[in-house]
Amino acid sequence: MTPFISRPSAWVPLLVLVLLAAVPFVAQATGQQFYVAFFARIIIYAIAACALNIALGYGGLVSFGHSLFLGLGAYAVGIASFHEVGNGWIHLALCLGVCGLVALVTGAISLRTTGIAFIMITLAFAQMGYFLFVSLKHYGGDDGMSIAQTSRFGPVDLASATSVYVVAFVVLVLTIWWLAKLRAAPFGMVIRGAKQNARRVNAAGIPVVRYQLLAYVMSGMLTGVAGLLLANLNAFASPSTLAWSISGELIVIVVIGGLGTVFGPLMGALVFLGLEEILKGFTDHWMVIFGPLIVIVALLGKSGIIGLLQRLDSRAKRADTHTTSAAATTGVAEGAL
């Protein structure tokens, strides 16, 4: 067995990416465009989960307020469109600028605390954002707002589900590549070390809070990009995007896929949203089944789905070692005869 084939944690995520790349072509051939929109939503949530993974998985910052940045990204498109601005680069600049600034301010305040206090403060900021947009009656208030002018990046117009899918897929691949680089970079090692023992990292002369704040800001900005894509996919921006339940879903996705892993957010989004859609087709009481299934999936591996695949790696490696040892023993015995 070749080393690559014997490592499910390496080839299974890559196979998932290949299959996702083929979705638009399969949908076009079968005339089932619904699947493009459905898997586009999965990819967008995977991007948001990748963003949360920087703060939660790498840095150990349990943020219950990342829906705030998802909503800000969506409203960056919605409000700009309301004022007849359809330039995607302006939408992106607004999204990154607002999300970065809000993440900087809220992160600086939240990081003055730890543990449950940090969770509650991030949740409070998200709820403040939710009620702020509910109160903006000029922009639809609680009913949300339709997006008449989607983001146009030169010749690329995110007016169709297919165009959103392609752009989101490219963003996802680049994000996964960046996360892999970030995880092994000195910055990634610092925030991962702080997650294990912040006092020791501080004792080494490294300002932990500054690194955590930067991780939080990067996480918020990337979540905003996911919100921008989601708004274009739905052609709609709603305060419900900022609800605390969305933050909870993102946390569950990261945990299911594997905290601190590179491909975990993608695998978690695929399982979470896929199971949800399948169960909805069978019963109206799908949440009764969905909850225990999520718990079982999360407990299967030490680090979620990726942890389970890594356990399969270890078993395959032990089996290969046993086979090699047996073959070597047989060869020695035959040589002696």
Q: Which residues contact 166 (CB under 8 A, 6 or more apart)?
A: 24
Domain 8-322 belongs to what topology? ABC transporter involved in vitamin B12 uptake, BtuC (1.10.3470)
Using an 8 Å Cβ cutoff, are 228 and 107 in contact?
A: no
Backbone angles phi, psi at 146, to 5 degrees: -75, 150
| Residues in the chain where the model's pLDDT stays below 50 | 1, 332-333, 336
137-156 pLDDT tens trace: 999 999 999 998 899 999 99
CA-based end-to-end distance of the chain:
29
pLDDT value, residue 7: 72
Look at the block and give the residue holding tokens 């993974």: 53
Give me the residue spans of the domains in the chain: 8-322
Q: Given this model, what pLDDT does residue 320 score?
A: 58
Q: What is the pLDDT of residue 1?
A: 47
